[in-house]
Amino acid sequence: MLAVTELRIVGNPEPDDLRAIETAVYPDWEAVYADNVVGIYQLVFRRVGNAADAEDLAAEVLMQTLKTLRLPAPVHNVRAYLVKTARTVLADHWRRHYAAKDAAAELQQVPPDALTSPHNSAAAERAQRVLSLLPDNFRRILELRFLRGYSVREAANELGVTESNARVLQFRALRKAADLELEVLR
Amino acid sequence: MSDSPADRVARFVDDLLHGRRPRRFHASQEEVEAMTAAAGMASARVGADLPGKAALDRIHSRLAAALDESPAFDRHVTRRVLLRTFGTAAAAMVIGVGLDEVVTRQGKAPVESGGGGSTVLMPDGGAWKPVASVTQLPAGHAMTVSTGAIDAVIVNDGGTISAVSGICTHLGCRLQPDDAGKKLDCPCHQTAFGWSGKVLYYRLKAEPPNLPQIPSRVNGDQIELFVV
């Protein structure tokens, strides 16, 4: 293994082409990939909401980072760069496909340490928290749609409104949820 | 069909809920806000935002292909290296030091590789050292041995002797041979490796690296490993 011959215990008297590493480093791209691919996927999934786009964008983030970053590099530097790249890639995605002039407001919510904080159930918890802060009628429509998988028609029947009204209610609920994301949840 | 913002966002949500790639359209800023909130809501079910193995494999393949097509990257990393090495962590664990305690040397030729993602641990200053007698390891058995610096598992698979690292490449737990299953079990996170060192299964977010192989030979009635 390449890494094996590269390893030396600190302080070992070796030729001067050795350099000390004070923090953990990624020696190669496989290490970057293995350690971050799931976190990157989750980060982008939360901002596109579907697996097909999440897969494409996660690959793009890793690819763009690969093109510009030189390895070995400290873990925290690589992760910060991955998050920065993810922001750019996501903003570009929203701009290209939905003509969003400024998707940046939401994307600024991606913390620089997004890949170092535990992320296993963070997205679900965050969504649940947003739901809990919504007014009742907004929360009901979003729960029916996103948690119980109701169609607009089924949700409308459940709520005793027309389908058209259910769509408007959903739209307003989502806009309120977006406000909460920005204002209440940082 | 009418085309109000509420309708367009409803179609977007429908696509998300059906697992489809959403249709593209020109959205107002208000719609974009609602759609990004919808994307967050699509993660509300625990595990919804976890990639499947197939998705991870495709991402990995795309990276490998990109490396192949970009000679500019060759100086830093090649596809061979990508496929051959699975990170320093495994090697660091094998030799018993943490990543934050190591020093790298650049520009040295890589050691040989077994291919297929497995690697051969070829320590500098290594020597052949006896670790067990042949009679201790009948066919169909695996056995853990230690040279002090390295924990290994020696295997007799139908008369062919081989050796792999005895330390799990995930977080460094000692592997336990399971002769009946011809595998090595990690007691920590339900991961198992075949006798060749290849990962058989795992319950981790990312597939751990295969076990490094350790050069072995039979010398007289002794099984010897090339170790420090």
Type of residue numbered B7: D
Asked whether the bond before A72 is cis by omega within 30 degrees of 0, the reply is yes
Is the pLDDT confidence value at B72 over 60? no
Mean pLDDT of B169-193: 86
User: What was the pLDDT predicted at B93?
Assistant: 33
- SS3 state of residue B153: strand
Q: Quote the pTM value.
A: 0.58
Tell me the DSSP string of A101-161.
S--HHHHTTS-TTTTTS--TTHHHHHHHHHHHHS-HHHHHHHIIIIIT---HHHHHHHHTS
This complex has an ipTM of 0.82
CB-CB neighbors (< 8 A) of B15 in chain A: 50
A57-61, A110-114, B74-78, B134-138: range with lowest mean pLDDT: B74-78
User: Considering CB atoms only, which of A19, A100, A128 is closest to B27?
Assistant: A100
User: Considering CB atoms only, which of B7, B35, B106 is closest to A17?
Assistant: B106
User: What was the pLDDT predicted at A177?
Assistant: 95
* Domain A122-183 is found in CATH 1.10.10.10: yes
**What is the Cα A88 distance to its own chain's centre?**
12
User: What was the pLDDT predicted at A65?
Assistant: 93
- Tokens, residue B122: 């070829």
CB-CB neighbors (< 8 A) of A29 in chain B: 63, 67, 77, 81-82
User: What was the pLDDT predicted at A184?
Assistant: 64
Listed by start position, the domains of chain A span 23-107, 122-183
How close, in Å, is residue A111 to chain B by CA atoms?
15
Half-sphere exposure of residue A115, counting CA atoms within 13 Å on the CB side?
25
User: What was the pLDDT predicted at A52?
Assistant: 95
User: A3–B95: do the CB atoms touch at under 8 Å?
Assistant: no
> What is d(CA B123, CA B83) in angstroms, rounded to the nearest whole number?
20
Mean pLDDT of A69-88: 92
Mean pLDDT of A144-156: 94
CB-CB neighbors (< 8 A) of A67 in chain B: 70, 73
Comparing alpha-carbon positions, the chain A residue that sits nearest to B20 is A50
- List B178's β-bridge partners, or say none: B183
User: A24–B94: do the CB atoms touch at under 8 Å?
Assistant: no
> What is d(CA A158, CA A155) in angstroms, rounded to the nearest whole number?
5
Is the pLDDT confidence value at B103 over 70? no
B198-223 per-position pLDDT tens digit:
888 887 778 888 898 888 888 888 88
A175 contacts A167 by C-beta, under 8 angstroms: no
Tell me the DSSP string of A160-178.
TS-HHHHHHHHHHHHHHHH
Is the pLDDT confidence value at A38 over 80? yes
Pick the CATH number of B127-227 from 2.102.10.10, 1.10.8.50, 3.40.50.360, 2.60.40.1180: 2.102.10.10
User: Considering CB atoms only, which of A54, A100, A145 is closest to B32?
Assistant: A100
B28-64 per-position pLDDT tens digit:
999 999 999 999 999 877 778 888 889 999 999 999 8
Type of residue numbered A159: L
Interstrand relation of B141-146 and B151-157 (parallel, antiparallel or unpaired): antiparallel
> Mean pLDDT for chain A?
82
- SS3 state of residue B204: coil
Type of residue numbered A44: V
B195 contacts B214 by C-beta, under 8 angstroms: no
Burial class (CB in 10 A: 0-12, 13-18, 19+), B93: buried
CATH 2.102.10.10 residue ranges of chain B are 127-227
Burial class (CB in 10 A: 0-12, 13-18, 19+), A68: exposed
Half-sphere exposure of residue A91, counting CA atoms within 13 Å on the CB side?
16
User: What was the pLDDT predicted at B110?
Assistant: 30
Mean pLDDT of B149-157: 88
Burial class (CB in 10 A: 0-12, 13-18, 19+), B204: middle
CB-CB neighbors (< 8 A) of A61 in chain B: none
Look at residues A53, A59, A141, A65 and name the one whose alpha carbon lies nearest to residue A98: A53
A34 contacts B87 by C-beta, under 8 angstroms: yes
User: What was the pLDDT predicted at B43?
Assistant: 83
More confident residue, A161 or B170: A161
Is the pLDDT confidence value at A161 over 80? yes
User: What was the pLDDT predicted at A37?
Assistant: 92
User: What was the pLDDT predicted at B92?
Assistant: 32
User: What was the pLDDT predicted at A185?
Assistant: 59
A97-101, A106-110, A123-127, B109-113: range with lowest mean pLDDT: B109-113
| Position B117 confidence tier, pLDDT thresholds 50, 70, 90 | low
Which H helix or E strand runs over B141? strand B141-146
> What is d(CA B145, CA B59) in angstroms, rounded to the nearest whole number?
38
Is the pLDDT confidence value at B95 over 70? no
- SS3 state of residue A28: coil
User: B30–A177: do the CB atoms touch at under 8 Å?
Assistant: no
User: What was the pLDDT predicted at A178?
Assistant: 92
Provide φ and ψ at A81, rounded to 5°: -70, -40
More confident residue, A142 or B88: A142
B213 contacts B114 by C-beta, under 8 angstroms: yes
Mean pLDDT of B114-130: 69
User: What was the pLDDT predicted at A119?
Assistant: 47
| Position A6 confidence tier, pLDDT thresholds 50, 70, 90 | very low
CB-CB neighbors (< 8 A) of B84 in chain A: 1-2
Tell me the DSSP string of B98-122.
-GGGEEEE-SPPPPPEEETTEEB--
Interstrand relation of B160-165 and B151-157 (parallel, antiparallel or unpaired): antiparallel
